[in-house]
Structure 1
């Protein structure tokens, strides 16, 4: 009953437009007061602090800052120019450029919203000018941006790893194959639609132009190598890799490309602080709610009730996917992870599901949730740039959502798709 009352309270507060972080904090405080009395608020305050200061979570503000620095230092634009020269000659090539750039950007920022903001402002106007409908331009940009939370490094994976107490490095490795597979299938869908709508090629192939744009983008392309190479080699942790991303973006923007001056740097840092404040307030209040639910034995009770019905991992996986898909439509990714993972982890462990496998499932569900209204944070950002209607774009986006759903089902029921590479880390 506690879980039911907590859910009703949260939904009620969210429906009356109370910010999610505030709604979670108020619900947590009410729960502690009603079940344990005022003295329990001391525990809540301690959890608010400790829940947002763990070492792995330091990577979040650093990756947010790195993404913002890329947007203002010319790094994103040079990446776009290089990928355009490389694959823009294919029919529908500009749409594929969008997907390709998102893959590269994903390896630096770990944020889908940062991805769509960086690539969309440059590519969507150009796609519209070349004959793409505004809804198709918005749909391709939105769906490809969600690769940023599947391909490492990924902010949701960092959150999941911290809460589930599992290896972030293994989560990053497990995301490589699903991310690359998703990107390839998105390109296939883009090509099919390009043929159907007779969309043009972005530009003819010119080896000389490829060489020039590669030379301009060379330093930008070193960033994924530095970050992922350092993390996967074991030289740095995911958090230290985020610090490397910021340092690399600063050095490249200030001293190599020289597109980043003091005023832009100040504005970028202020934006990063603002975005970090929103995320970390959500993290801290959600940690307090997790403490309340744990003390009330809600996760353990839920796990026991479901295992009484079935212990078949395939059925449990289906139920978990359904839960995550529904929540993903109404909650932002960080909120969904922090609210759901502590509750369901006892169930995941009880039926023998690998926590790394489940982490990739969570990430893919959130990627779909970013594309499905009413919340759909990435889709809404893309639509605002394209000046396209959300519901019209959602219909256009269905084939791309189907790709993400196919990858989710494949990962769910063929765990080797995500876990095969992690074996090399043991």
Structure 2
């Protein structure tokens, strides 16, 4: 009955937070143990009583301030210095700029929306097909969950009770690996499709772009450097990033007006509020799963199928690709971590950091895969390209993402060597 309630609500397009809460309430009502309702409210609030969760609205705020204050466009111009002269130069610029933005925003959906507005029109003017321009911009959003900071890493750290700073460090090499594979994909596709040759900036233009972009570039350096050196916690780094973006946007570039702040704060509050409510609802749902001993049942079934950690992780990847096609990444993460993480650690000896990187990256692929594919619809809305055309152009990048997942699953040191 409980599974039926969950599926009916889910496919009736009820908001996922209500799906989780109502399913939990239905379970308690069916169990007849109405004393559990006495703990219901406590579980709702207990799930969000974690200092690390403050990083989520703060990183969202930093991204909003950077986009409104002109920092994003300066980072794109700075990327031209590094890769602008190669064949398919704008494609490389797009990817490098996405790497920079991934080190600030932490949200794939927000990154796709912002970079689509900034990069796709410029690529179309230089002769790139609209579908390819939208596809590479969307592919850059796949870097967001693993290049620190990452909203999914923050949430995974809370759910798994591991240090969020260590999760950020664990994502550095996987992020660089996937970036390198994306660069290779662009190079190979550029040879096949003969993309236009880029132009290197003149010395004067490069110097201007560097000095104009340097203040914006300090934001990701502040975030990652502060965490790696241990000077600040991830939450404190998010606060510093927001303050830095505010100061640079208002005092250096002077594009961010104080009159913009109420609307920025409103958008940040609405977006982060939805995430926090979802986490709260998932706290109750996870409590019900544990009470029902579902993780133990799943563990017993999986152990019967394989005893190889690598095979187990591949099974997780396959299952989560399907889950990610239907559920939002945050909602899916909240659902699967309480069930699968204990199995990974107790029965297969897998590090929570390796498991976290694999799970977060796999779930974000769902952002760009039908039938839900919210990232495809965001890219389509920003560019006017039909979602399925973007998906077809995106397939080489999704294949490289799968290759990254296989390598990360089979070689734990890619994740663990920096810890």
**Which TM-score bucket, shorter chain as reference?**
over 0.9
Residues 362-408 of structure 1, C-alpha deviation per residue, up to 9 Å, x if partnerless? 12202322221122222221122111111122111110101100000
- Counterpart in 2 of 1:176? 172
Structure-to-structure mapping, 1:89-168, within 5 angstroms = 89-168=85-164
Q: Aligned residue for 1:365?
A: 362
Residue 349 of structure 1 is matched in structure 2 by 345
Please, which of 236, 242, 254 is the counterpart of residue 238 of structure 2?
Answer: 242
Q: Structure 1 residues 203 and 346, CA, compared in 2 at 3 Å: closer, same or farther? A: same
**In 2, are the aligned partners of 1:107 and 1:152 still within 8 Å (CA)?**
yes
Q: Who is 1:396 aligned against?
A: 393
Residues 1:383 and 2:377 are matched in the alignment: no
Report the TM-score, using the length of structure 1 for normalisation: 0.95
Offset at 1:217? 0.9
In structure 2, the residue matched to 1:330 is: 326
Aligned residues: 418
Higher mean C-alpha displacement, 69-78 vs 167-176: 167-176
Whole-angstrom distance in 2 between the partners of 1:302 and 1:386: 43
Alpha-carbon spacing, 1:120–1:32, altered in 2? closer, same or farther (3 Å):
same
Is this contact kept in 2: 1:189–1:399, CA < 8 A?
yes
Q: Distance in 2 between matches of 1:330 and 1:406?
A: 22
What is the aligned partner in structure 2 of residue 61 from structure 1? 57
Contact 2:85 2:197 in 1 (8 A): yes
Deviation at 1:157, TM superposition (A): 0.6
Structure 1: how far apart are the matches of 2:187 and 2:164? Answer: 34
* Residue in 1 that maps onto 2:412: 415
Q: Is the 2:80–2:201 contact (alpha carbons within 8 Å) kept by the matching residues of 1? A: no
Q: Alpha-carbon deviations, 1:116-141, whole Å to 9, x = none?
A: 12221011111112111111111100
Q: Which runs of 5+ in 1 are unaligned?
A: none
**Counterparts of 1:264-279 in structure 2 under 5 Å?**
264-279=260-275
Decide whether the 8 Å contact of 1:86 with 1:210 is kept in 2.
Answer: no
Sort the Cα spacing of 1:416 and 1:295 in 2 relative to 1 into closer, same or farther, 3 A: same
Task: Point out where structure 2 has 5 or more consecutive residues left out of the alignment.
Answer: none
Residue 43 of structure 1 deviates from its aligned partner by 1.4
Tell me if structure 2 keeps the 8 A contact 1:109–1:115: yes
Moved over 6 A (4+): none
Contact 1:88 1:201 in 2 (8 A): no
User: Equivalent residue for 1:225?
Assistant: 221
1:33–1:40 CA contact under 8 A, matched in 2:
no
SS at match of 2:86: coil
Query: Residues of 2 paired with 1:319 and 1:279: CA distance?
Result: 28
Change (3 A) 1:141 1:6: farther
Contact persistence 1:124–1:138 (CA under 8 A): yes
